[in-house]
């Protein structure tokens, strides 16, 4: 966390607040997550040096950058093209080599790059998207906020065990912007 310059990921005007433990607006109604939540989601993903990880909801690229330091390869998908482009440019400027960003609907995952050891969804869903579950390796984990709205979301860990059985546990209440279905 200390290695990643969070001030590079927030708008110029918010730089003085970049190292406070709170979310900040990044434009077009979206936010960069609170550092505590980024750290928690990263830890819950149980990242290993050989892992391939999918992130849904690139936003600023901050969460992707944090986890990219701990795994082999990160793929991150963002539905707002302007955010996908500015995040890709930022990551190139910062010299990230093991992180690929594209614009698209992450509800559908990234089938060409699947399967994934871990999937981080950084927007709130009403249910676990089936395409993401399909693209998770056996033995893999998905970290995802689930709920019916911003005031009713729980961060969940979804584990697919080696025989393909899926188990879910609640971690804590959270508040993420909605995951779009299309």
The yes or no reply on residue 80 touching ligand SAH (CB under 6 A) is yes
The DSSP result for 104-159, as a single string, is S-GGG--GGG--EEEEEE-SBBSS--HHHHHTEEEEEEEEEEEEEETTEEEEEEEE
Window contacting ligand SAH (CB under 6 A); options: 13-21, 130-138, 139-147, 174-182: 174-182
Residue 48 CB contacts under 8 Å (≥ 6 apart), including other chains: 70, 71, 117
Binding mask 108-127 for ligand SAH (x = CB under 6 A): --------------xx----
114 or 161: whose CB is closer to ligand SAH?
114
Active site residue 60: no
Q: How far is the CB of 161 from ligand SAH (least distance, A)?
A: 27
Q: How far is the CB of 177 from ligand SAH (least distance, A)?
A: 5
Q: How far is the CB of 115 from ligand SAH (least distance, A)?
A: 18
The yes or no reply on residue 101 touching ligand SAH (CB under 6 A) is no
Confirm if 1 and 66 have CB atoms less than 8 A apart. Answer: yes
The yes or no reply on residue 68 touching ligand SAH (CB under 6 A) is no
12 or 167: whose CB is closer to ligand SAH?
12
How far apart CA 96 and CA 111 sit, in angstroms, is 23
The yes or no reply on residue 154 touching ligand SAH (CB under 6 A) is no
Among 67, 71, 107, 145, binds ligand SAH (CB under 6 A): 107
Site for ligand SAH in 15-54 (CB under 6 A): 30-33
The DSSP result for 11-62, as a single string, is -GGGGGGTTSSS-EEEETTEEEPPHHHHHHHHHHT---TT-EEEEE--TTSH
The yes or no reply on residue 142 touching ligand SAH (CB under 6 A) is no
Bridging pattern class, strands 99-103 and 73-78: parallel
User: Would you tell me how many other CB atoms lie within 10 Å of the CB of residue 105?
Assistant: 16
CA angle 79–80–84, rounded 5-degree value:
90
Residues lying near ligand SAH in the complex (CB under 6 A) are found at: 30-33, 56-57, 59-60, 62-63, 77-80, 83, 105-107, 122-123, 177, 179-180
């Amino acid at each position: 966390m200390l290695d990643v310059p969070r001030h590079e990921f927030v708008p110029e005007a918010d730089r003085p607040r970049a190292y406070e433990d709170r979310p900040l607006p990044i434009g077009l109604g979206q936010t960069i997550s609170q550092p505590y939540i980024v750290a928690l989601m990263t830890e819950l993903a149980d990242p290993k040096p050989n892992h391939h990880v999918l992130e849904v909801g690139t936003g600023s690229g901050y969460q992707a950058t944090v986890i990219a330091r701990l795994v082999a390869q990160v793929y991150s998908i963002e539905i707002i093209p302007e955010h996908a482009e500015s995040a890709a440019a930022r990551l190139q400027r910062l010299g990230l080599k093991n992180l690929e960003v594209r614009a698209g609907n992450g509800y559908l995952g990234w089938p060409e790059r699947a399967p994934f050891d871990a999937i981080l969804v950084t927007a709130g869903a009403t249910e676990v998207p089936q395409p993401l579950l399909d693209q998770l390796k056996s033995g893999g984990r998905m970290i995802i906020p689930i709920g019916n709205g911003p005031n009713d979301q729980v961060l969940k860990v979804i584990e697919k065990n080696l025989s393909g059985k899926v188990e879910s546990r609640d971690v804590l209440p959270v508040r993420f912007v909605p995951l779009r279905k299309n």
